[in-house]
Structure 1
Amino acid sequence: MAIPVIDFSKLDGKERTEVLAQIANYCEEWGFFQLVNHGIPVELLERVKKVSSECYKLREEGFKNSEPVQKMNKMLEEEAAGSTAQRLNDVDWEDVFTLQDDNRWPSNPPEFKETMMEFRRELKKLAEKILEIMEENLGLEKDHIKKAFTCDGEYEPFFGTKVSHYPPCPRPELVPGLRAHTDAGGVILLFQDDKVGGLQVLKDGHWFDVQPLADAIVVNTGDQIEAVSNGKYKSAWHRILAKHDGNRRSIASFYNPCYRAVIGPAPSLQNDGELYPEFVFGDYMNVYQKEKFGEKEPRFAKVKKAEKFGDKE
């Protein structure tokens, strides 16, 4: 079964109603879908591929000294000496760094920063357009989610980008590329490799491949959208498999609430009661950082609305 694909250009044409219905359905049934003809120039996407690949080449030697590689090498040495190899479940076969407006970015290749800043601007606009569609589909007033994410415009939403590569792995059956999890935030936009697969999403108890698709943007919903929608839209479990061949590129951007944002079910979606607590996003992240790879329901149970940021009842 293929992950749903939407031609986003049809949103502004006579097929708008159909596209809106597709997005609503995929948010409810999958929590994942792919966008083509999304408006981000192909020329920019090609530059992003180029600079991210060149950046990884400068980091490649460093990955050979990373914790997952060291653990794998030690285990293979022990296996050669007669021990039974045990799967590594506490590390990910991933080279990764993050980009935010206020942190240090790689200086090489020279065009990396300019290209990625332009790319992030385009992605942020796309994320906000997707939020508007969700609001429309959920019957919420315009900018309801954006206002919730920004404390009514007092703060900027958090917008971060995770640049990852998943290098070839000598024994992919012994280590995850990235362990199964749901995303903590709002809307996630992924520009994944168009040749090397590995991303999978869980649906109805089965893992399905998120098929590589040239120039597409993969969209998935995070835990905060699940809370705002009172469970109508679910954040989906997903994972990345380590691969023996290839070097998978993955650039994920997260449009999240600011840390002081109070998140909870929209009042108009509480017909069946308030199924999720009201809480401060920063408090949720404190829990998530410790329990990212665990079940999400206990995370919601541990956070409640605080009188001020960081307080707990």
Structure 2
Amino acid sequence: MASDLKPSDQRSACKPAFTELKLDGAERSETLAQIANGCEEWGFFQLVNHGIPLELLERVKKVCSDSYRLREAGFRASEPVRTLEALVDAERRGEEVAPVDDLDWEDIFYIHDGCQWPSDPPAFKETMREYRAELRKLAERVMEAMDENLGLDRGSIKAAFSGDGRHEPFFGTKVSHYPPCPRPDLITGLRAHTDAGGVILLFQDDRVGGLEVLKDGQWTDVQPLAGAIVVNTGDQIEVLSNGRYRSAWHRVLPMRDGNRRSIASFYNPANEATISPAAVASGGGEAYPKYVFGDYMDVYAKQKFQAKEPRFEAVKAVAPKSSPAA
């Protein structure tokens, strides 16, 4: 079974597998087992032969790279760049400087159905609309595989995210670039965090690395793999599975060379949806509280880069104030 993660220079030796998304036919059982292993052992895995046309992925690369070229001047004038330049200037004057721990060396924008999308480059809207439709279908296929592995009825996770069909789950996409960084020792690309939502599908740069996942106290590279989609589980999957699937800490390191492109799509519950451990997953003992997802997001916005366990405790305290109706 092939590997998608290789050890970083911090001595991690474990290697989770990538999987071909074959959920029909003779290879179905093996695919489900690989997905289960990725969710249980890592919180990360890579999908190949996922059904998204490679030609579409190439177009996504192009329109996102073209979009960054139009934004590049703005990034050069951004707060992270100004802050890093000020640190380097202070260092040249002989002053002692410390790495910045509250900024990310990242240019980002978000697209979802309720916001205005870039109209330049001209092909951006059409390409990303087509791509997001494919990614949404892929996310739902992955969730159905998780349902089966967890012993849940098919469609259970989607139903939880939609409040049994009463609300539309949120599907957003974050387009990021991590430009070359002259002093990666003084700033992070993206600080370590877990993702707040459900299932995250990442189309990462296939040449420039930097993404790392934390396992057993050590950081491991998520090695670029051409044409693959990286999948990771967010905090809400951890809760629904009652901790069987853990959301993984991950980060992006800044690089001196290269310009890392990253397109992450998030299939999250509706803000009104109520989240709690599924009955089958809990086995009668629930390790997580019941809460409304919008309340969790309020807490997460303030504590994203902090330990996740206090977030669950905090939302437990506010949950009774929110309507339990999903």
Displacement, 1:199? 0.1
Tell me, what secondary structure is at the counterpart of 2:220? Answer: strand
Matched, 1:6 2:19: yes
Tell me, what secondary structure is at the counterpart of 1:303? Answer: helix
Using the TM superposition, name which of 78-87 and 196-205 deviates more. Answer: 78-87
TM-score (norm 2): 0.93
- The answer to whether the Cα contact below 8 Å between 2:239 and 2:288 also exists between their aligned partners in 1 is yes
Displacement, 1:306? 3.3
Residue of structure 2 in register with 1:106 after alignment? 118
Q: Indicate which of 208, 227, 230 corresponds to 1:215.
A: 227
Residue of structure 2 in register with 1:184 after alignment? 196
Q: Indicate which of 250, 254, 271 corresponds to 1:238.
A: 250
Using the TM superposition, name which of 298-307 and 67-76 deviates more. Answer: 298-307
Residue of structure 1 in register with 2:3 after alignment? none
Displacement, 1:133? 0.5
Instruction: Give % identity.
Output: 65
Q: Indicate which of 48, 55, 60 corresponds to 1:48.
A: 60
Residue of structure 2 in register with 1:286 after alignment? 298
- The answer to whether the Cα contact below 8 Å between 2:194 and 2:234 also exists between their aligned partners in 1 is yes
- The answer to whether the Cα contact below 8 Å between 2:206 and 2:225 also exists between their aligned partners in 1 is yes
2-structure distance, mates of 1:131, 1:14: 20
CA deviations 1:72-126 (Å, max 9, x no partner) are: 0111111111112210111000000000111011110001011001000000000
Q: Which amino acid aligns with 1:212?
A: P
Residue of structure 1 in register with 2:206 after alignment? 194
CA deviations 1:195-226 (Å, max 9, x no partner) are: 00000000111100000000100000000000
Q: Which amino acid aligns with 1:6?
A: T
CA deviations 1:214-247 (Å, max 9, x no partner) are: 0100000000000000000000000000000000
TM-score (norm 1): 0.97
2-structure distance, mates of 1:194, 1:268: 38
Using the TM superposition, name which of 272-281 and 50-59 deviates more. Answer: 272-281
Residue of structure 2 in register with 1:168 after alignment? 180
Q: For structure 2, which runs of at least 5 residues remain unmatched after alignment?
A: 1-5, 7-14
CA deviations 1:118-176 (Å, max 9, x no partner) are: 00000000000000000000001111111111111011100000000000001011111
Q: Which amino acid aligns with 2:49?
A: N
CA deviations 1:6-30 (Å, max 9, x no partner) are: 111x332311111111111110000
- The answer to whether the Cα contact below 8 Å between 2:208 and 2:224 also exists between their aligned partners in 1 is yes
Q: Which amino acid aligns with 2:107?
A: D
Tell me, what secondary structure is at the counterpart of 1:12? Answer: coil
Distance verdict in 2 for CA 1:83–1:109, change over 3 Å: same
Tell me, what secondary structure is at the counterpart of 2:90? Answer: helix
Q: Which amino acid aligns with 1:30?
A: W
Matched, 1:256 2:276: no
- The answer to whether the Cα contact below 8 Å between 1:135 and 1:141 also exists between their aligned partners in 2 is yes
Distance verdict in 2 for CA 1:41–1:47, change over 3 Å: same
Residue of structure 2 in register with 1:28 after alignment? 40
2-structure distance, mates of 1:7, 1:151: 31
2-structure distance, mates of 1:250, 1:193: 6
Matched, 1:130 2:142: yes
- The answer to whether the Cα contact below 8 Å between 2:291 and 2:324 also exists between their aligned partners in 1 is no
Tell me, what secondary structure is at the counterpart of 1:218? Answer: strand
Tell me, what secondary structure is at the counterpart of 1:87? Answer: coil
2-structure distance, mates of 1:98, 1:40: 21
Tell me, what secondary structure is at the counterpart of 2:189? Answer: strand
Displacement, 1:4? 2.0
Matched, 1:90 2:102: yes
Displacement, 1:307? 5.5
Q: For structure 1, which runs of at least 5 residues remain unmatched after alignment?
A: none
Tell me, what secondary structure is at the counterpart of 2:23? Answer: helix
Residue of structure 2 in register with 1:115 after alignment? 127
> Superposition RMSD on alpha carbons, in Å?
1.3
- The answer to whether the Cα contact below 8 Å between 1:159 and 1:255 also exists between their aligned partners in 2 is yes
